[in-house]
Amino acid sequence: MMMRGGSSKGAYFRADDLPAEHSERDDLLRRIMGTPDARQIDGIGGAHPLTSKVAIVSRSARPDADVDYLFLQIGVEDAMVSDRQNCGNLLAGVAPFAIERGLVSVDSAASTTTLRIHMENTGSVATATVHVYDGMPVYSGTTAISGVPGAAAPIRLEFADIAGGTAGSLLPTGSARDRVSGVDCTLIDNGMPVVVLRADAAGITGYESCADLEANPSLLSFLEALHLEAGQLMGLGDVSAATVPKICLVAPPRAGGALSTRTFIPRRCHDAIGVLGAVSVATAALLPGSPSSEVMAPISGDSVILEHPTGLFEATIEISRRGGQVVVERAGIVRTARKLMDAVVYPRSD
C-alpha cells in the first residue's frame, strides 16, 4: 500500500509479505523502489529521500504495544537500505495501515481509536489516535499540515521514553553545547539524532531556499565534516553511509514561530522538517545554554513552533530536571495521513 504519512510518502508492507531474511528482504525492496538510480525510473520510489521510504508493520507480541513498525530508508542513487533511524512521518500512516490490513480490530461504533506502536528501530513506543468510521480509518478532515496540500483527518502522536533511542541518551556528550568542526552545537537524540547549530555559525542566514543551500559547495563540505565528527561524538560510529545524525541550522523566526530551521538529511535539504527531528530540535531549543536557545523567540506554555521552508511545525514538549539531568516528560505532535494506492507491485527481476 502506498501512503502519504505526514510530509513524506512510502510503501507500507505487512511483515509476513516480505522475506524474513534481511539481505533478501533488502534486495527485494531495492528492486521494488528502483534503487540505485537517480530517478528510480524502474520502481515506485519518488527520486528523493522523503519519498524513498518503507514501513513494515506486523502484530506485536509485546504487552505494551498493538503493532510493531520497522522503518527502512531506501537509498536513491546508492543501494543503501538503512534501519538506523525512525521516521515519524511514516509513523502517522502506521495505525491506518494496520487497520486496513486487519492487524488490529476496531469497534464499529467508535469514532476514534488508539493504537500503541512499537518502533522497532529504537525500541520505543508511540501512541496514535486516529478517526474511524464503521471500523475503518477516516482520511478526510479539516486538519492542514505544512508541506501537504489540502486537509485531512488529524492523527495525534504521543511519544514517551524516546530520548536516546539511537544515541543512548538525550545528550550523548552530557552537554547542551559542544564544539564540533569549529562551531558550537547541541548533539541531541529525542527520537532522532540531530546536530543543532546556529545558521550564522555556518556562514548562512538560515532563510535561504533548499535549492540555494544545496548549490553551496562550501556549506555542503562543512556539513559533511560536521556530520562525520558528530557521529563519532554521539556514539554512532562511522556515519559516512548513514542518514543520521541529521543537521539542523537554526535562526531567529520570521513567520510567527519560535525558531526558523533548515534541516539536512544529511546532504539533501529537507523541504520541511521530519517529525522526530522536529521533536529533537524543539527540545534542544528549550535547553538553557544551547546555541538554539540564543535565537529562539519567547514561547508560552510547552508548544514550540518551528518554521521551515514550506511552513510551520508545532511540537509539544515537556521537560524537567531530575538529579541535575534533563528529562523529557512527554512529546506530542499532530500529523495526517492518506491511503494513495492499494495494489500489487512488480519488482524488477535483478
Same domain, 98 and 207: no
- Compute the distance between CA of residue 103 and CA of residue 100 in angstroms, rounded to an integer: 8
324 inside domain: no
348 inside domain: no
Same domain, 107 and 190: no
Same domain, 157 and 187: no
Domain encompassing residue 206: 178-318
349 inside domain: no
Same domain, 152 and 43: yes
| Locus of grid cell 525500541 | 123
328 inside domain: no
Same domain, 186 and 283: yes
Same domain, 217 and 252: yes
Same domain, 157 and 182: no
8 inside domain: yes
With 0-12 / 13-18 / 19 or more C-beta atoms within 10 angstroms meaning exposed / middle / buried, residue 217 is: exposed
CB 193 within 8 A of CB 248: no
75 inside domain: yes
Q: pLDDT tens, position by position, for the chain (350 residues)?
A: 999 999 999 999 999 999 999 999 999 999 999 999 999 999 999 999 999 999 999 999 999 999 999 999 999 999 999 998 899 999 999 999 999 999 999 999 999 999 999 999 999 999 999 999 999 999 999 999 998 999 999 999 999 889 998 999 999 999 999 999 999 999 999 999 999 999 999 999 999 999 999 999 999 999 999 999 999 999 999 999 888 999 999 999 999 999 999 999 888 999 999 999 999 999 999 999 999 999 999 998 889 999 999 999 999 999 888 877 888 988 999 999 999 999 999 999 98
Same domain, 207 and 103: no
Residue 167, amino acid: A
68 inside domain: yes
Same domain, 221 and 300: yes
List the CATH number of the domain containing 102.
3.10.310.10
Residue 236, amino acid: L
**Structural domain count, the chain:** 2
Same domain, 153 and 123: yes
327 inside domain: no
Give the cell for residue 76.
536513491
Same domain, 201 and 142: no
Same domain, 245 and 292: yes
CB 315 within 8 A of CB 303: yes
- Compute the distance between CA of residue 338 and CA of residue 96 in angstroms, rounded to an integer: 8
- Compute the distance between CA of residue 145 and CA of residue 259 in angstroms, rounded to an integer: 17
